[in-house]
């Protein structure tokens, strides 16, 4: 079996006249395909008063189009066992679909219909609103979600990153059909969209079908996204607590604004974060908080690294009486990775993990599509995977320490806890 | 590119199932033990799951924490899971490193130390895991529902175990449980991926062939007596979202009715129909979705059976919209089940279920880790990996008459347990 990674020779890249970039990677090992897509536009384009509008719009795209009713759409999709769904993030609205290759025309037709000519029937919007409201009520009773929500508000304040993409019960209640129709008209469009196809279809065939479905999509009313303001790091330890008295455990989120994916030292901080809270069973944090102290079932750190300064976070859930010990233990590990160079063994292990895990990540169509989309979205170059190994192995212990000092902090950090009692 | 699956039983009783897949330079090695929470008794509930945790806590040659670091260092993924009928471990690695998985699994099959200090440290981790589940309303509801549905059979309790037992179980309890159940004759080794089967079998014989078999574990004698009437449980807790679960007694995986019930579910409720890992599709064109969600009573509904050794449950789970009552949701559910008799599943609905099953089958087999899971699960619950491999033929053979037969046999109110989560508005 060949070990070659997808690269400029095997990823077929096309640019449609209306600004859509299409990437195709042929994989004939099964009679299936996946299509992933990202469109520029998301919660960033909604006002605070209409929080959740972007997510509401994405959730309503398949509720009826000029040619199909809600029932038609799902009857056709589910009759062939295909999947198609849309979702909104802060900056991007994304979609993904999978099906047998024999059903690709149907899937592309439903995709194009939903993106281009949704009708947002009022009766259907009320059904969607009811489902969103139920999920928001469920969120309010979930310690992990509430700790994350409180953390974002504490860290980012009024910045768009401080607001939940799904909105609030009060804001979703005010969203009207006109709001949704306008959002779709002004935010949705082909320019800047990236579509990735992986599966048992030739590149020429795939791009011809996408051209046919979306090539003549034009959106003259689309408005450019406004620039996003800078985020500020806290200059002291800031902390908040969400009181949820009847819960068995408290959830904790600590963190700071993280690096952009385009940051020149992104791989340095990725290695640092992997050593801190990922490698093996949750890295150094897992060894300290789970293995040695037995405080928690999970404790890990997450580096997002996208197009926005999304947070770098550490997350754990512990018994309410262990909250302070868990926070102290995590802060001690953050200090240690800032104050001392990582050992040669730890660095070598992590480099081996980050490079060696690529074949496993690239095994399925989903995995391939996700990584190929990243190459385009973050402008990494189609040969990135071929050069990735060398890039990881040039990261030194000094660079890891420098990145930890730049992006992490034990003392100037935001901490949110959701659970039974205020324990500070 | 894909060769036939093979099955071999070594002299010491280890079942070996292998399947070559050469689409990517990756391989998975799993070991499945025929032990789960089904093998526990009051006083040691949660033992199977706790032992699973202890398998990462060291042997004389691989110290605690070294297992996960070693696999990660080689670019691999690992995990373990415990369920009603089984405990399973896997490593997915670049195929030229798969031997590492064989080495580590053979080592911990017999050499786990389970030091008293490590048991105590892990006790709090497992209690923390249980607390994490307890934060979820549906965990409480499912726990009470299983306890009501199974008065005698050990499917009565959750795999995580009862809090009382997690507080009191000793090292001797856990080590004894391990020694009784971890042996080659109670295990299945599954290898899937980019390797040569003859060479893989030689390696498995090298690492496992010398391990000694043990006395077979005790058979499960506590058969559940027939249910004689509907049972109902109510759980109150924080939040303001209400949930309803209807759980019907369902056939074992090997029962000829199992696949007919799976097809009935696909036609009636949609979604992942076969109970396989890793498959998920929407169910918005199903009868059940239209009756409960499209009618704006519920915000979501899902349903399905789980393949198990002994008869278990077919469950329908719904979450009510905040402005609706559980009584309204339950009435709509009852009406829709009654409609299955007045307006039986049609040939068109059956055809759709067949096509969906075909897609689900193909998708579920795309990843080698999934393939290994399906083969291993089939060996445990049905004693035969072909239970999964012949799924499409079995699904295809299901007729409308079969669907009406299983409807009448299983979807009966006197054979069900209704669970209601009634929110107390505490946390909103």
The top-level CATH class assigned to B231-423 is alpha beta
Going by C-alpha positions, the residue among B277, B322, B244, B417 that lies closest to residue A172 is B322
Going by C-alpha positions, the residue among B289, B360, B298 that lies closest to residue B326 is B298
- Count of positions (residues) in chain B: 428
Test the B interface: residue of A129, A248, A250 with most B CBs within 10 Å: A248
**CB of B126 within 8 Å of any CB in chain A?**
yes
H or E stretch at B375: helix B368-382
Helix (H/G/I), strand (E/B), else coil: B386:
helix
pLDDT at A44: 95
Q: Taking CB atoms and an 8 Å limit, are B131 and A127 in contact across chains?
A: no
Q: Taking CB atoms and an 8 Å limit, are B428 and A2 in contact across chains?
A: no
**Is residue B79's pLDDT more than 80?**
yes
Q: How far is CA A195 from CA A362, B129, B268, in A?
A: 18, 40, 34
Q: How far is B126 from chain A (nearest CA, A)?
A: 7
**Is residue A320's pLDDT more than 90?**
yes
**CB of A421 within 8 Å of any CB in chain B?**
no
- Count of positions (residues) in chain A: 424
Compute the distance between CA of residue A354 and CA of residue A350 in angstroms, rounded to an integer.
Answer: 6
Kindly state the average pLDDT of the residues B248-271.
93
Its ipTM equals 0.92
**Is residue A125's pLDDT more than 90?**
yes
User: Any long-range contacts for A65-70 (C-beta under 8 Å, 24+ apart)?
Assistant: A65/A113, A65/A114, A65/A117, A65/A118, A65/A119, A66/A113, A66/A117, A66/A119, A67/A113, A67/A117, A68/A110, A68/A113, A70/A121, A70/A124, A70/B284
Q: Taking CB atoms and an 8 Å limit, are B76 and A130 in contact across chains?
A: no
Task: Report the side by side order of strands in the sheet with A194-199.
Answer: A11-15, A21-26, A194-199, A32-40, A92-100, A83-88
Mean per-residue pLDDT over chain A, rounded: 95
Question: Searching chain A, which residue's CA lies closest to the CA of residue B363?
Answer: A32
Q: Taking CB atoms and an 8 Å limit, are A248 and B134 in contact across chains?
A: yes
Kindly state the average pLDDT of the residues B119-123.
95
Q: Which residues of B touch A87 (CB under 8 A)?
A: none
Q: How far is B162 from chain A (nearest CA, A)?
A: 14
**Is residue B426's pLDDT more than 90?**
no
A11-214 and A238-419: same fold?
A: yes
The pair phi, psi for residue B32, each rounded to 5°, is: -110, 130
Instruction: Identify which of B1, B126, B355 has the shortest CB distance to residue A80.
Output: B355
In B, residues 406-425, which contact A (CB 8 Å cutoff)? 423-424
**CB of A157 within 8 Å of any CB in chain B?**
no
pLDDT at B279: 53
Compute the distance between CA of residue B296 and CA of residue B303 in angstroms, rounded to an integer.
Answer: 18
**Is residue B276's pLDDT more than 80?**
no
* Longest alpha-carbon distance in chain A: 63
Compute the distance between CA of residue A40 and CA of residue A222 in angstroms, rounded to an integer.
Answer: 11
Per the CB < 8 A criterion, the answer to whether A35 and A368 are in contact is: no
**CB of A378 within 8 Å of any CB in chain B?**
no
Compute the distance between CA of residue B391 and CA of residue A227 in angstroms, rounded to an integer.
Answer: 54
**Is residue B273's pLDDT more than 60?**
no
Domain ranges of chain A: 11-214, 238-419
| pLDDT tens string A407-420 | 999 999 999 999 99
Q: Taking CB atoms and an 8 Å limit, are A1 and B270 in contact across chains?
A: no
Helix (H/G/I), strand (E/B), else coil: B229:
coil
pLDDT at B366: 83
pLDDT at A275: 98
The pair phi, psi for residue B73, each rounded to 5°, is: -60, -30
| pLDDT tens string A10-69 | 999 999 999 999 999 999 988 999 999 999 999 999 999 999 999 999 999 999 999 999
pLDDT at A226: 85
Going by C-alpha positions, the residue among A423, A257, A406, A280 that lies closest to residue A338 is A406
* pTM given for the model: 0.94
DSSP string computed for B83-120: -SS-EEEEEEEEGGGTHHHHHHHHHHHH-----HHHHH
pLDDT-derived band at A303 (thresholds 50, 70, 90) equals very high
Question: Searching chain A, which residue's CA lies closest to the CA of residue B284?
Answer: A74
| pLDDT tens string A341-385 | 999 999 999 999 999 889 888 989 999 999 999 999 999 999 999
**Is residue B304's pLDDT more than 50?**
yes
CA angle A181, A182, A188 (to 5 degrees): 90
pLDDT at B1: 44
Q: Which superfamily does A11-214 belong to?
A: Metalloenzyme, LuxS/M16 peptidase-like (3.30.830.10)
**Is residue A306's pLDDT more than 70?**
yes
**CB of A127 within 8 Å of any CB in chain B?**
yes
Instruction: Identify which of B128, B286, B428 has the shortest CB distance to residue A249.
Output: B128
Compute the distance between CA of residue A217 and CA of residue B228 in angstroms, rounded to an integer.
Answer: 62
Domain ranges of chain B: 6-208, 231-423
**CB of B137 within 8 Å of any CB in chain A?**
yes
In B, residues 279-298, which contact A (CB 8 Å cutoff)? 280-286, 293-294, 296
pLDDT at B270: 85
Which region among B50-59, B248-257, B350-359 has the lowest average model confidence (pLDDT)? B350-359
Beta-carbon contacts of B123 under 8 Å, excluding residues fewer than 6 positions away, are: A294, B166, B167
In B, residues 345-374, which contact A (CB 8 Å cutoff)? 352, 355-360, 362-363, 365-368
The first and second tokens of residue B50, run together, are 């706790």
Q: Which residues of A touch B98 (CB under 8 A)?
A: none
Q: Which residues of B touch A248 (CB under 8 A)?
A: 130-132, 134-135
The top-level CATH class assigned to B6-208 is alpha beta
DSSP string computed for B249-301: EE--TTSTHHHHHHHHHHHHH-SS-S--TT-----TTSHHHHHHTTTTSEEEE
Question: Searching chain B, which residue's CA lies closest to the CA of residue A246?
Answer: B238
pLDDT-derived band at B278 (thresholds 50, 70, 90) equals very low
Compute the distance between CA of residue B11 and CA of residue B326 in angstroms, rounded to an integer.
Answer: 56
**CB of A32 within 8 Å of any CB in chain B?**
yes
Q: What does DSSP assign to residue A292?
A: I
Instruction: Mark residue A372 as left, alpha or beta (left: phi above 0; alpha: psi -120 to 50; beta: remaining).
Output: alpha
Beta-carbon contacts of B228 under 8 Å, excluding residues fewer than 6 positions away, are: B414
**CB of A343 within 8 Å of any CB in chain B?**
no
Mean per-residue pLDDT over chain B, rounded: 94
Kindly state the average pLDDT of the residues B343-358.
92
Q: Please list the residues that pair with B77 across neighbouring strands.
A: B92
pLDDT at B357: 86
Q: Taking CB atoms and an 8 Å limit, are A141 and B75 in contact across chains?
A: no
Q: Which residues of A touch B366 (CB under 8 A)?
A: 29-30, 32, 364-365
Q: How far is A139 from chain B (nearest CA, A)?
A: 9
pLDDT at B138: 97
pLDDT at B281: 79
Q: Taking CB atoms and an 8 Å limit, are B241 and A359 in contact across chains?
A: no
In this structure, whether the domain defined by A238-419 belongs to CATH 3.10.110.10 is answered with: no
| pLDDT tens string A197-214 | 999 999 999 999 999 999
**CB of A344 within 8 Å of any CB in chain B?**
no
Instruction: Identify which of A31, A141, A297 has the shortest CB distance to residue B137.
Output: A141
E runs forming strands in B312-396: 312-320
Q: Taking CB atoms and an 8 Å limit, are B239 and A133 in contact across chains?
A: no
| pLDDT tens string B220-240 | 999 999 999 999 999 999 999
pLDDT at B427: 39
Q: Taking CB atoms and an 8 Å limit, are A29 and B131 in contact across chains?
A: no
In A, residues 63-102, which contact B (CB 8 Å cutoff)? 70-71, 74-75, 77-83, 85, 98-100
pLDDT at A2: 52
**Is residue A3's pLDDT more than 70?**
no
Q: How far is CA B154 from CA B231, B235, B245, in A?
A: 18, 21, 20
Q: How far is A223 from chain B (nearest CA, A)?
A: 33
């Amino acid at each position: 079996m060949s070990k070659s990674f997808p690269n400029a020779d095997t990823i077929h890249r096309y640019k449609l006249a209306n600004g859509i970039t299409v990437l195709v990677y042929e994989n004939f090992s099964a009679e299936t395909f996946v299509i992933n897509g990202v469109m520029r536009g998301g919660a960033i384009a909604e006002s605070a008063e209409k929080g959740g509008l972007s997510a509401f719009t994405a959730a309503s795209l398949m509720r009826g189009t000029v040619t199909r009713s809600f029932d038609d759409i799902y009857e056709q999709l589910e009759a062939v066992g295909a999947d198609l769904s849309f979702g909104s993030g802060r900056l991007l609205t994304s979609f993904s679909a999978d099906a047998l290759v024999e059903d690709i025309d149907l899937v592309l037709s439903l995709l194009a219909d939903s993106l281009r000519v949704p009708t947002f029937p009022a009766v259907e919007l009320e059904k969607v609103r009811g489902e969103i409201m139920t999920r928001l009520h469920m969120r309010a009773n979930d310690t992990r979600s509430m700790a994350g929500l409180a953390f974002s508000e504490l860290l980012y304040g009024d910045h768009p990153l401080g607001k939940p993409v799904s909105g609030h019960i009060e804001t979703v209640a005010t969203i009207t059909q006109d709001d949704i129709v306008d959002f779709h008209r002004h935010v949705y469009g082909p320019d800047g969209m990236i579509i990735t196809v992986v599966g048992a279809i030739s590149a020429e065939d795939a791009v011809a079908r996408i051209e046919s479905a979306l090539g003549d999509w034009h959106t003259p009313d689309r408005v450019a996204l406004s620039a996003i303001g800078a985020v500020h790091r806290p200059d002291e330890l800031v902390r908040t607590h969400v009181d949820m008295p009847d819960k068995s455990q408290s959830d904790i989120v600590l963190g700071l604004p993280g690096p952009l994916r385009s940051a020149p030292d992104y791989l340095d901080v990725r290695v640092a974060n992997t050593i801190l809270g990922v490698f093996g069973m949750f890295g150094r944090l897992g060894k300290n908080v789970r293995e040695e102290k037995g405080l928690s079932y999970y404790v890990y750190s997450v580096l997002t690294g996208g197009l926005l300064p999304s947070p770098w976070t550490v997350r754990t859930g512990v018994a309410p009486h262990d909250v302070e010990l868990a926070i102290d233990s995590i802060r001690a590990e953050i200090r240690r990775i800032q104050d001392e160079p990582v050992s040669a063994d730890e660095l070598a292990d992590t480099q081996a993990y980050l490079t060696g895990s690529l074949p496993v990540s690239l095994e399925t169509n989903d995995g391939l599509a996700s990584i190929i989309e990243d190459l385009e979205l973050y402008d990494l170059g189609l040969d990135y995977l071929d050069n990735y190994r060398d890039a990881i192995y040039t990261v030194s212990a000094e660079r890891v320490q420098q990145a930890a000092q730049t992006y992490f902090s034990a003392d100037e950090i935001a901490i949110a806890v959701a659970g039974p009692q205020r324990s500070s | 590119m894909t060769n036939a699956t093979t099955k071999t039983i070594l002299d010491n009783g280890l079942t070996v199932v292998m399947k070559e897949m050469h689409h990517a330079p990756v391989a998975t090695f799993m070991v499945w033990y025929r032990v789960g929470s089904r093998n526990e008794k009051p006083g040691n509930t949660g033992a199977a799951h706790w032992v699973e945790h202890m398998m990462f806590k060291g042997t004389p040659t691989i110290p605690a924490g070294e297992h996960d670091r070693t696999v990660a260092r080689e670019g691999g993924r690992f995990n373990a899971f415990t369920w009603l009928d089984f405990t399973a471990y896997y490593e997915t690695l670049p195929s030229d490193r798969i031997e590492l998985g064989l080495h580590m699994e053979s080592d911990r099959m017999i050499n786990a130390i389970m030091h008293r200090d490590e048991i105590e440290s892990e006790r709090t981790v497992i209690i923390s895991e249980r607390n994490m589940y307890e934060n979820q309303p549906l965990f409480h509801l499912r726990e009470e529902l299983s306890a009501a549905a199974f008065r005698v059979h050990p499917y009565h309790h959750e795999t995580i175990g009862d809090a009382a037992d997690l507080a009191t179980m000793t090292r001797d309890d856990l080590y004894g449980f391990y020694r009784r159940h971890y042996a080659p004759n109670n295990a299945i080794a599954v290898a899937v991926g980019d390797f040569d089967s003859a060479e893989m079998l030689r390696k498995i014989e090298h690492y496992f062939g010398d391990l000694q078999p043990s006395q077979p574990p005790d058979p499960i004698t506590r058969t559940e007596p027939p249910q004689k009437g509907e049972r109902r449980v109510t759980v109150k807790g924080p939040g303001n979202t209400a949930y309803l679960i209807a759980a019907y007694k369902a056939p074992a995986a090997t029962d000829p009715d199992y696949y007919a019930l799976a097809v009935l579910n696909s036609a009636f409720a949609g979604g992942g129909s076969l109970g396989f890992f890793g498959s998920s599709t929407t169910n918005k064109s199903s009868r059940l979705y239209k009756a409960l969600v499209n009618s704006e009573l519920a915000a979501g509904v899902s349903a399905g059976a789980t393949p198990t050794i002994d008869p278990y449950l077919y469950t329908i789970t719904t979450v009510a919209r905040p402005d609706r009552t559980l009584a309204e949701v339950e009435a709509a559910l009852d009406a829709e089940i009654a409609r299955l008799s007045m307006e039986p599943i049609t040939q068109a609905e059956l055809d759709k279920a067949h096509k969906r099953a075909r897609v689900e089958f193909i998708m579920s087999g795309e990843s080698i880790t999934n393939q290994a899971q399906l083969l291993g699960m089939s060996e445990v619950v049905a004693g035969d990996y072909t239970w999964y491999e012949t799924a499409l033929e079995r699904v295809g053979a299901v007729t409308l008459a079969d669907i009406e037969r299983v409807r009448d046999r299983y979807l009966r109110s006197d054979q069900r347990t209704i669970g209601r989560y009634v929110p107390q508005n505490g946390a909103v």
